[in-house]
Chain A
Amino acid sequence: MSLDLLLLAALDGFSYAGLLFLVSLGLTLIFGVQGIINVAHGSLYAFGGYTAASLVIWALEKQAPTWVLLLALVLAALAVGAVLGGIIEIGLLRRVQDKDPVLQLLVTFAAFLMFEDLQRLIWGATPYSSSEVVAKLGNISVFGVTYTRYQLLLIPAVAIVCYLGLLFCLRRTRLGKQIVAVAHHREVATALGINTKRIGLITFVTGAFFGALGGAIAAPTTSLVPGVGTDMIVLSFSVVATAGLGQVTGALITALMIGLARSIAVYTAPEMEVAVPYLIMVAVLLVRPNGLFTVAQARRI
């Protein structure tokens, strides 16, 4: 493979990985703290995307400047994260807190199904496009290859900011430490006086925000149709499972790995492109079922 192609693949992969990581971040955070695999994360992505697209289209009509458009993306994500995330956590997850993990997962799957229909009722089936945002940021040339600034710079930047922001919060703030405590051992955390209910809600809404932000940021790069959530949830799940459920930094590395592998496949074996993340997932799970970055625990009897 020529150097040009390799470079192309690397940059493609880098951008794609940024988006992938952003969506996976929310999923792995929620699992890490609450032990739930949130299938409705796909809905958060989709709703984030559609809301962002709608907001951008409205803002464009008002001749809004570019920074407002970008802000609209974030605001859309915040709104969706708070509202949808809140509904799911308070309305649903709290009621199934003590049930079998499979039932918890199925409840989120049921919620996902419901949101798929709601999404179609609200936005219909016609594709939503907000690509003007990308156009407004212009292009950039790297070693003779042209990229949009949006995909090459903005998306990874948002992903990195979110990653660093989350790490900072978890390690340095009081809230963050409480979250880590709940993640490690819920009962002990309660015994220490931590309001686990509140922590659960905050974590979930934060994870939901990340998922919605992924959708919002992705919206200008694609045309939104019903089904975007379906593909994204299983793809981000493959990242999370490969990295190890609950591993934040692991998810970053895995997203990069999968992003790169996928874009190399696009240029060398295009039929396998979509299958690449899942092939990696199979390979990793067969060898390390706990994921690449989880430390295994011994079994006791």
Chain B
Amino acid sequence: MSRLLDLRLLTVAGSLLCLVLGLAFPWSKTPLIVGLCYGIAALGVAAMVRAGQVSFGHAMYACVAGYTVAFLARAWPQLDGMLLIMGGIGTSLIAGAVIGVFVVRYRGIFFGMLNLAFCMVLYSVIGKVYDVTGGTDGLRINRPTVLGIAFERDGFETALLIGTLGVAVVLGVLVQRYFQSASGEALAGIKTNETRLEYLGLSARKILWNGYVFSAGIVGVSGAMFALVQGLVTPDIGSWLRSGEFVFITILGGSGHAIGAFLGAAVFELVKLFAAAYMTGIWQLLLGATLIIVILVAPQGIVGLLLQKSAASKGGGGH
């Protein structure tokens, strides 16, 4: 159980750090929120990786949620931010449920490709329908009230930081509990032996669909909050490149534990900031190099390394 304590400590310490940094350096709020959003999105992707399936199109759910927030905010400017986010989660869950019906019939590379295809259809259409979506320019989102209070820029960002942090912790805990539940372990069983699941009377498709809808909703949350903090939503929120970055972070952090998504996102954002500080225009270079190193040296991600260390000290194997 000492490992569990370590993780809880890590979560609390990490959250406090985010808050302290955000309050001490107001400029850091946006990168922190963005980083948390990426972490949340990676959490969604991790749910599928758990079943051995990698989706290269999950950014489409961030896209659905983000544009929902934009449409709602433009139609009803008096709507509170919380309601906007709820709206975004709602549409991404519905989209996930519908698309999920199709994609859960496929495995491996086909699962990945079909998700990519859906993602690109959405991205292409949104980028072209200028009258509705603003095309590649996107849509502006005016600052909504948060829980009824109309904040100035700084206060709004603080509220968002606290909100995103809260959501990140709650979702992290929920996802980890899901992973360890009967449903989540059966989901992991899809990776190693679907035949066995069927012969236990379980529907692998149903289990995968459940996980898929959940993952879509999670990515939707990240998209909604991302759109709010940027005050703008563009098609890039749902590009294949963005989907790839989510997968990147999931693998970097490791999908063995929910906290992996946030560890990966932390490294991702740190490398970006580091690169920006020294020389603009090399963050992709550094990120690419980081990913390659991680894949070569620690393919199970940071979490994998941590699990290995704790297993070695306990002297046993296990999951």
Output the least CB separation between B49 and chain A (Å): 9
Tell me the complex Cα distance, A30–B120, Å.
23
Q: In chain A, what residue has the closest Cβ to B279? A: A121
Tell me the complex Cα distance, A37–B244, Å.
14
Output the least CB separation between B191 and chain A (Å): 11
A111 contacts B125, C-beta separation under 8 Å: no
Q: How large is the interface on B (under 10, 10 to 19, 20 to 34, 35 or more residues)?
A: 35 or more
A113 contacts B121, C-beta separation under 8 Å: no
Please give the number of chain A residues whose Cβ is less than 8 angstroms from any Cβ of chain B in the complex.
44
Output the least CB separation between A210 and chain B (Å): 21
B129 contacts A99, C-beta separation under 8 Å: no
- Residues of chain B with a CB closer than 8 A to A271's CB: 125, 128-129
Q: Is A142's CB within 8 Å of the partner chain B?
A: no
Tell me the complex Cα distance, A109–B102, Å.
26
A275 contacts B124, C-beta separation under 8 Å: yes
- Residues of chain B with a CB closer than 8 A to A245's CB: 109
A279 contacts B121, C-beta separation under 8 Å: yes
B110 contacts A114, C-beta separation under 8 Å: no
Q: Of the 9-residue stretches A6-14, A76-84, A100-108, which lies at the interface with chain B?
A: A100-108
Chain A contacts with B in 260-294, Cβ cutoff 8 A: 270-275, 278-279, 281-282, 285-286, 289-290
Output the least CB separation between A27 and chain B (Å): 13
Output the least CB separation between A271 and chain B (Å): 4
Output the least CB separation between A238 and chain B (Å): 7
Known: A271-B129, A301-B195. Contact between A107 and B292, CB under 8 A? Answer: yes
Chain B contacts with A in 158-212, Cβ cutoff 8 A: 195
B288 contacts A114, C-beta separation under 8 Å: yes
Instruction: Return the contact of B289 from the options A106, A112, A114, A286 (Cβ within 8 A).
Output: A114
Instruction: Return the contact of A114 from the options B128, B244, B284, B295 (Cβ within 8 A).
Output: B284
- Residues of chain B with a CB closer than 8 A to A53's CB: none
Output the least CB separation between B84 and chain A (Å): 27
Q: Of the 9-residue stretches B61-69, B111-119, B148-156, which lies at the interface with chain A?
A: B111-119
- Residues of chain A with a CB closer than 8 A to B289's CB: 110, 114
Tell me the complex Cα distance, A155–B236, Å.
31
Output the least CB separation between B156 and chain A (Å): 32
Q: In chain A, what residue has the closest Cβ to B107? A: A289
Q: Is A230's CB within 8 Å of the partner chain B?
A: yes
B287 contacts A113, C-beta separation under 8 Å: yes
Known: A102-B54, A289-B106. Contact between A121 and B114, CB under 8 A? Answer: no
B248 contacts A272, C-beta separation under 8 Å: no
Q: Is B251's CB within 8 Å of the partner chain A?
A: yes
Return the 8 tightest CB-CB contacts between A and B, nearest first.
A114-B288, A275-B124, A113-B288, A274-B124, A110-B291, A117-B285, A110-B288, A278-B120
